[in-house]
Structure 1
Amino acid sequence: MERALTLVTGGTRGIGRATALRLAADGHDLVLGYHQDTASAEATRTSVESLGVACRVVPCDLTSPAGVDELFAAAADVGQLTGVVNNAGATLHIAPLAETPVEVVQRTIDLNLTAAVWVARAAVRAMGRSYGGSGGVLVNVSSGAATLGAPGEYVQYAAAKAGVDALTTGLAQEVAGDGIRVVGVAPGIVNTTIHADAGEPDRRDRVGPLVPLGRVGEPDEVADAIAWLMSGEASYVTGTTLRVAGGR
């Protein structure tokens, strides 16, 4: 039986890195896309390969259609994709919408929604049976903010992630007959650098106590959900988004 080959966008830090390590432990060979942090990419590659699977890291700009094409071409050089984790994303800024620069709003939507749609399109073309693929699983990483709206913090990010939820629902129905399951995961507040990158490193401490479970989540907890959705145990699951948000 051939080993699974999974592409993870934003796969070398945070939730993406945890997902890569979990999938590697499950026996997946991996192609990991990343933007700029080469040191983290190489460290993740080394950790993944130590688990006995193959790993290739690929720098790319997913906000460019050419960047998406380059990433999937690199994956095709490795082998036939059987899974894609559509994970790359960032809040970029924390402020009310009226106080958020127009260019930040545009970048947020470009990365979290437009790029996600392009990646999903490429995933179907890579895995769909009608395109010569063998079928597979696409996991779209959304956010709990998609339903909460993130008022006063990043409503543009929440709106983009709500679009990702709609993408999961519609595309799952569109490609079910082509051998692809499309599912989503919506993390809540998670212990990653996304908060510091957006300018508020202490946000976890501020928001964590508001979660019903009383704490922030860990990347591994989201990775476990993604791994289950990609497994045969979830073979009858498609078109739905699993919330991993501590009850919030």
Structure 2
Amino acid sequence: MQNLFVVTGGSRGIGAQIARQAARHYPVVITYRSRADEATKLVRDIEAAGGQAWAICADVGDEAAMTDAFAQIDALGSIAVLVNNAGVTGGTARVDEVRAETLAEVWRVNVTGAFIAAREAVRRMSTARGGAGGVIVNVSSAASVLGSAHTWVHYAASKGAMDTMTVGLAREVAREGIRVNAVRPGLIDTEIQRDRPPQLLAQMVAAIPMGRMGTAEEMAQTVLWLASPAASYVTGALLDARGGL
């Protein structure tokens, strides 16, 4: 069975770049909820470059859909790496304006989705369950540290939950051959930034010591390092990649 690199929410942005770079070393599976055209194009691009890739439509916050997605992945090979990348911001809102349905959706995707995917990966990777071990990398956010006041405290809180899950799960499965880490990107030049007011975005960029936004390619390289043997003694880490902020 071939060893697979799985990326949730892999059709665009940071997830797509992770998939592109991972495909140089692994057969890649991405999951996506919408934007089938972008997922299909990514798979074709990877194949055109000589790699192997598959795209599976599945909502990470839907337990039945993800259970089915992992069953489909089982038919392709064994999971060596899972990247929990799928996420939503819930749009911009102050805490005194945020709606309960927004909170529910952000938690469903960002927290429940990450737990479900990690659960399914551990069941397959754990040496205690007959697996060969593996790596889980969670894509968190600098928002979990900075709070994202005036824009999306709700999103920041969901990423705080992901950070806690990363540390706890890492300790839980460290002796079962599984490493679990998180990358906390700062301001990255992707579609997600379009939710921010332009003036606020300019102020945020100005506050970054390196004086610029990061790129999806840079975040992908960080994830690939954590997934590689070069990080073999790294687990339970929350790696900040935010230009010095």
TM-score relative to the length of structure 2: 0.95
**1:208 and 1:228, CA in 2 relative to 1: closer, same or farther beyond 3 A?**
same
1:116-175 residue CA offsets vs partner (Å, 9 max, x unmatched):
111111110121122232111000110000011111111111111011111111111110
Counterpart position of 2:90: 92
Q: Quick check: 1:181–1:238 contact (8 Å CA) kept in 2?
A: yes
Aligned CA RMSD, in angstroms, stands at 1.6
Which whole-Å CA distance do the structure 2 matches of 1:194 and 1:220 have between them? 15
CA distance in 2, matches of 1:70, 1:195: 32
Q: Partner residue of 2:21?
A: 22
Q: Which sections of structure 2, spanning at least 5 residues, go unmatched?
A: none
Is 2:121 the partner of 1:105?
Answer: no
The structure 1 residue matched to 2:129, chosen from 128, 131, 144, is: 131
Alignment of 1:91-240 (within 5 A): 91-196=89-194, 198=195, 200=197, 204-240=201-237
Structure 2 Cα separation of the partners of residues 214 and 57 of structure 1: 36
Q: 2:82, 2:137 within 8 Å by CA — same for their partners in 1?
A: yes
What is the alpha-carbon distance in structure 1 between the residues aligned to residue 74 and residue 244 of structure 2?
Answer: 39
SS at match of 2:75: helix
Deviation sequence 1:63-96 (CA, Å, 0-9, x none): 1111211221111110011110010012121120
Matching residue of 2:239: 242
The whole-number CA distance in structure 1 between the counterparts of 2:43 and 2:152 is 32
- Quick one: which amino acid aligns to residue 243 of structure 2? G
- Are 1:15 and 1:220, in contact at CA under 8 Å, matched by a contact in 2? yes
Q: Structure 1 vs Structure 2: percent identity of aligned residues? A: 38
d(CA) in 2 for partners of 1:111 and 1:218?
23
Counterparts in 2 of 1:59 and 1:174: CA distance versus 1, 3 Å? same
For residues 123 and 165 of structure 2, the distance between their equivalents in structure 1, rounded to whole angstroms, comes to 16
Distance in 2, matches of 1:199 and 1:208, equals 12
Preserved CA contact (<8 Å) 2:151 2:196: no
1:60 paired with 2:58, answer yes
Instruction: Give secondary structure in 2 for the equivalent of 1:92.
Output: coil
Determine helix, strand or coil for the equivalent of 1:238.
Answer: coil
Does the Cα contact within 8 Å between 1:190 and 1:204 map onto a contact in 2?
no
Q: d(CA) in 2 for partners of 1:57 and 1:104?
A: 27
Q: CA deviation at 1:210?
A: 1.8
The amino acid that maps onto 2:56 is V
Q: Cα offset for 1:7?
A: 0.6
Is 1:185–1:242's contact at 8 Å kept on the other side of the alignment?
yes
Structure 1 unpaired stretches of 5+: none
Would the alpha carbon gap of residues 41 and 200 (structure 1) be closer, same or farther in structure 2, given more than 3 Å must change? farther
Q: CA deviation at 1:114?
A: 1.4
What is the alpha-carbon distance in structure 1 between the residues aligned to residue 7 and residue 137 of structure 2?
A: 9
| Post-superposition offset of 1:53 | 2.0
Query: How many angstroms does 1:201 deviate by?
Result: 7.0
Query: Per the alignment, in what secondary structure is the counterpart of residue 120 of structure 2?
Result: helix
Distance 1:80 1:201, change over 3 A: farther
**What is aligned with 1:47?**
45
Question: Quick one: distance in 2 between partners of 1:59 and 1:73?
Answer: 13
Partner SS, residue 79 of structure 2: coil
Q: Residues of 2 paired with 1:58 and 1:156: CA distance?
A: 28
Q: Deviations over 1:8-62 (max 9, x none)?
A: 001110000000011112x110110001101110111111112322111000011
